[in-house]
Structure 1
Amino acid sequence: MTSDTRVVVIGAGLAGVRLARRLGELGVRALLVGEEEHAPYNRVLLAEVLAGRYAPEVIALPSPAGLLRARVTGIDRAARTVTCADGTSLGYGTLVLATGSNPVLPPLRGLFTAGRRLPGGVHAFRTMDDCLGLAKAVRPGVRAVVVGGGLLGVSAARALAARGARVVLAQQAERLMERQLDPDASRLVLRHLTGLGVEVHTECRVRDVRRAGDTVRAVELADGYVLDADLVVLACGVRPRTGLAERAGLAVRRGVLVDDELRTSDPHIHAVGDCARHDGTVYGLAAPALDQADTLAELLAGDTGARYRGTRSLTRLTLTGPGSPFDLAAFGETEPRPGDDVVRLADATRGTYRKAVVRDDRLVGGVLVGALGTVGALARAWEQAEPLPGDGPLLHLLTHDGGPV
């Protein structure tokens, strides 16, 4: 395939690798351009590498045939070329942005050194380099403060505790993982973390990073309380990486805008994964990124009827530690509206919890903590969005695995 007709994919994360591999399987040659020095890897499993459960090579993704390690710095839409940091120019017929997202760095006093770098001991937690830097720094007894109690912060805190660190997690919201879980499930996550020795502070805002020279020594909370810290992990969410698209003049609004063909405002440029905003939604999750990559591969291989209609995505997290793993899953609307039906099954002794929210005879959301044998059936009922049959089907869905809750 010549350079004026080939597919060039920028970004070697889950979405970019999946797209390039599927194109290869469908007979379409693609050039994948990734800027990280490491082989492509599954970012979802970085916490397992930090915990010491997996070696980095275990989470490597199968690399497609064409992979170029380079950093793309610009797009010339008129010439249909991209420019790399080393001066290389690459022609394309179709360009795909799979640039992912960047970690959000909160506006804390003292966060950056004079050279606009993070101080020694302060780490984002987004890339393999971030993970390996943290793994090198953590040791038994080290004082670590994790800023952020969402999915990433909870995962990082658990991983650091597994390595023997003394971990404090500071969460600005009133509970952990408030975007995915209801209060009861959040309390079970809190119980699990405290059981691992993690000290959790909710409704707690960090305002200052204290340093000795260019090395962190403590963080100060909004109420003046000071937490000593050898390590600070910033887990405050992510933001779509749209700089290339913006400089190229593409339509961007909290993500690169795409239609059902995952096409941007330029018909020769598409976007998938964390950087893409489809129908008002930036998913930031693995399942939608893979769905988008599969759909776009079919389109670029000649299936003119292929369309991306959105993904009903389930959030799942497994926390390992002393004893058995702690599993949770959440999907859809976990908080009921007035008039919704709610079924809850809980066992405080075993630390299990199941909740389903039903609206107009349809399952619209749910939360499961521990004993996830029912998650497949519930997820299918939710994804299908069809009316539930009569005769107590919801209780059956919650308990169909045959064991006690």
Structure 2
Amino acid sequence: MTSNTRVVVIGAGLAGVTLARRLAELGTPALLVGEEEHRPYNRVLLAEVLAGRYAPEVIALPAPAGLVRARVTGIDRTARRLRCADGTEIAYDRLVLATGSNPVLPPLRGLFTTGRHELPEGVHAFRTMDDCLGLSKAVRPGVRAVVIGGGLLGVSAARALALRGAQVVLAQQAERLMERQLDPEASRLVLRHLTDLGVEVHTECRVRDVRCAGGAVRSVEMADGYALDADLVVLACGVHPRVGLAEDAGLAVRKGVLVDDALRTSDPRIHAVGDCAQHDGTVYGLAAPAIEQAYALAESLAGDTDGPAARYTGTRSLTRLTLTGRDAPFDLAAFGETEPLPGDDVVRLADATRGTYRKVVVRDDRLVGGVLVGELGTVGALARAWEGAEPLPSDGGPLLHLLTNDGGS
């Protein structure tokens, strides 16, 4: 079977769905090709499904009309056709790669004991709805769970498992939690939140081995020889862009698929957006840049199929995480450079009783970054000041107002 369409989008995640829906609104229908059996969903909210806060259908995205379930196995750039695993072909005039990213599977001994690329029973990545549903089925009160990785995903997974009643140990190789997004003080507050939920956190702790018996995980061994009993192991060691199709097709790839300001790859008829795209040296791996890229590309493709006009110049993205605890939620946000350089000015406001912390970094009278934990009433104003990159008044009053204008601290 061969189907023909002008714009084809590979990937039914947030970037692909946003692009297809925006193109439809602009009168340029696209064919969206997704390989997961589930309805398109917001991957950012998978931890809330695992925690039992949301049912899977709650995080579903509105699916575009032109959605095909297929796994693309190859791109024929000369014939402008896609080859699918079921033997079908899909012709395109413009192709968009929105293939997302894959979880990093660390090189641990015992991880692939069968010789096949299949994880032992009880060991789970945490990237897809199937991963989430598999974990949800396995978790129960008292189950011993080890989460490997203390970044954004690992913290979210540990919190979700603890809320389901699991005995959770989080093993983080770095010296603190979420070290890429947060400064030490904010990391300590995240640690306190997890500890209050009963999570046992080990930092500067490298996992060496996953031990299995009968094909199922039994324990996790640390580099120092200490072993943790485990019924469940969650791999939250980061992600890497899914670029296999692009590489096989001969497109320029470094960490991600290289794109210019028109989000074009090295083949002018092929574009890339979202987690798989590398623009101006950056692979964002966040929702906000994926959405911005999708909107920019939709305007280009709908406006001029022979030469995209809209330009994408990058995203100044903010990381935000809400950890729903047993009582009040725990909110945090981080943007820009949270660690100052010599000569930078730093303003900090902290309230140990309320568990709130706010810090901003100012360089040459411009806000270059900040981190907020607890009450986030000021985050919108601070983010706008950062995104605008305008000089701040020299008296410092407006900056203090931005930090406190919700009446806190």
Q: Under TM normalisation by the shorter chain, which class is it?
A: over 0.9
SS at match of 2:312: coil
Whole-Å Cα distance in 1 between the matches of residues 21 and 123 of structure 2?
A: 36
1:193-244 CA-partner distances (Å, limit 9, x unpaired)? 0000000000000000001121000000000000000000000000000000
Q: CA deviation at 1:113?
A: 2.7
Preserved CA contact (<8 Å) 2:51 2:163? yes
Q: How does 1:323-362 map to 2 (within 5 A)?
A: 323-362=327-366
How much does 1:332 deviate?
A: 0.1
Once the two structures are TM-superposed, the CA of residue 5 in structure 1 deviates from its matched residue by 5.7
Q: Does 1:74 align with 2:79?
A: no
1:239-254 alignment runs, 5 A limit: 239-254=240-255
CA separation in 1, counterparts of 2:213 and 2:5? 55
1:389 maps to amino acid: P
Q: CA deviation at 1:4?
A: 5.9
Q: In structure 1, what is the Cα distance between the partners aligned to 2:326 and 2:105? A: 32
Q: Which amino acid aligns with 1:397?
A: L
Counterpart amino acid of residue 49 in structure 2: V
Name the aligned partner's letter for residue 79 of structure 1.
A
More displaced stretch, 65-74 vs 295-304: 295-304
Q: CA deviation at 1:117?
A: 1.1
The CA distance in 2 between the partners of 1:117 and 1:381, in whole Å, is: 47
3-state DSSP of counterpart to 2:133:
helix
The match for 1:311 among 284, 306, 315 is 315
Who is 2:39 aligned against? 39
What is the one-letter code of the residue matched to 1:359?
R
Could you say what secondary structure the match of 2:303 adopts?
A: coil
- Secondary structure of the structure 2 residue equivalent to 1:372: coil
Quote the Cα distance in structure 2 between the aligned partners of 1:404 and 1:12.
Answer: 41
Q: How far apart, in 2, do the equivalents of 1:367 and 1:101 lie? A: 26
Aligned counterpart, 2:97: 97
Partner residue of 2:21? 21
| Equivalent position of 2:202 in the other structure | 201
Corresponding residue SS for 1:185: helix
Instruction: Give me the identity figure in percent.
Output: 85
- 2:158 corresponding residue in structure 1: 157
Q: Does structure 2 retain, via aligned residues, the 8 Å contact 1:326–1:370? A: yes
SS at the partner of 1:141? Answer: coil
**Map of 1:273 onto structure 2:** 274
Q: CA separation in 1, counterparts of 2:244 and 2:373?
A: 38
Is the CA contact 2:322–2:330 (under 8 Å) kept in the aligned structure 1? yes
What residue in structure 2 maps to residue 235 of structure 1? 236
Q: Which residue of 1 aligns with 2:85?
A: 85
Please state how far the C-alpha of 1:390 moved relative to its aligned partner: 3.5
Q: Report the equivalent of 1:215.
A: 216
- In the TM superposition, structure 1's runs of 4+ consecutive aligned residues that sit over 4 Å from their partners are 2-5
CA RMSD of aligned residues (A): 1.0
Write the letter of the residue equivalent to 2:165.
G
Whichever residue aligns with residue 42 of structure 2, its letter is N
CA distance in 2, matches of 1:397, 1:102: 38
Aligned to 1:63: 63
Equivalent residues, number? 403
User: Residue type matched to 1:285 in 2?
Assistant: L
Paired with 1:270 and 1:321, the residues of 2 have a C-alpha distance of 41
Indicate the residue corresponding to 2:192 in structure 1.
191
8 Å CA contact retained: 1:3, 1:93: no
Instruction: Tell me the SS of whatever aligns to 2:328.
Output: coil
Name the amino acid aligned to 1:124.
A
In structure 2, give the amino acid aligned to 1:345: L
Gaps of 5+ in 2: none
TM-score normalised over the length of structure 1: 0.98
1:143 aligns with 2:167: no
Aligned-partner residue type, residue 207 of structure 1 = R
Q: Which residue of 1 aligns with 2:263?
A: 262
Q: Deviations over 1:356-400 (max 9, x none)?
A: 000000000000000100000000000000001243221111001
Which residue identity is paired with 2:287?
A
Residues of 2 paired with 1:34 and 1:11: CA distance? 5
* 1:398 pairs with 2:403: yes
